């Protein structure tokens, strides 16, 4: 019985799941070694979220008070200064976000699945 190949003990679907998890772990290890550890990546994500939250809040507050097209345009200046250059970098190919590599539809599906999973746990407690 010890000579039985593991492939005969698990289904092809289970094998695919195992391989996918191994591939993710491999890639995460490379990211950890070559780019940043998980805590640093989380910190960068947090910084990004805070910048966007602050800038978007300012934009919305200014936009909601704008009385003219000129005031509407002026309301975008801080947000444009903070993140406006990113679009050009993406357009010219000097910057590529991981979600673009993974595929936006897949990322949105992951976001929704994780959000739903967390929500279900919160409802149970």
User: pLDDT by residue (tens digit) across 101-119?
Assistant: 999 999 999 999 999 999 9
Domain assignment present for 117: yes
Residue count of the chain: 125
Does residue 20 form part of some domain?
A: yes
Question: Model-level pTM?
Answer: 0.70
Separation CA 63–CA 72 (nearest Å)? 6
**Which of 83, 90, 71, 13 is CA-nearest to residue 47?**
83
Domain match, 86 and 53 both: yes
- Are 53 and 73 in a shared domain? yes
The mean of the pLDDT values for the chain is 90
The pLDDT value recorded for residue 106 is 95
Residue 42 lies in a domain: no
For residues 90 and 78, is the Cβ–Cβ distance under 8 A? no
């Amino acid at each position: 019985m010890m000579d039985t190949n593991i492939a005969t003990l698990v289904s092809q679907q289970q094998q695919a799941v195992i391989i996918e998890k191994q591939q993710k772990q491999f890639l995460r290890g490379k990211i950890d070694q070559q780019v940043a550890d998980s805590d640093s990546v989380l910190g960068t994500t947090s910084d990004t979220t805070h910048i966007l939250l602050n800038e978007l809040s300012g934009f919305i507050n200014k936009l909601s008070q704008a009385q003219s097209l000129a005031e509407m345009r002026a309301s975008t200046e801080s947000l444009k200064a903070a993140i406006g250059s990113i679009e050009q970098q993406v357009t010219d190919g000097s910057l590529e976000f991981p979600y673009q590599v993974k595929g936006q539809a897949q990322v949105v599906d992951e976001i929704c699945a994780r959000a739903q999973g967390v929500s279900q746990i919160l409802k149970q407690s």
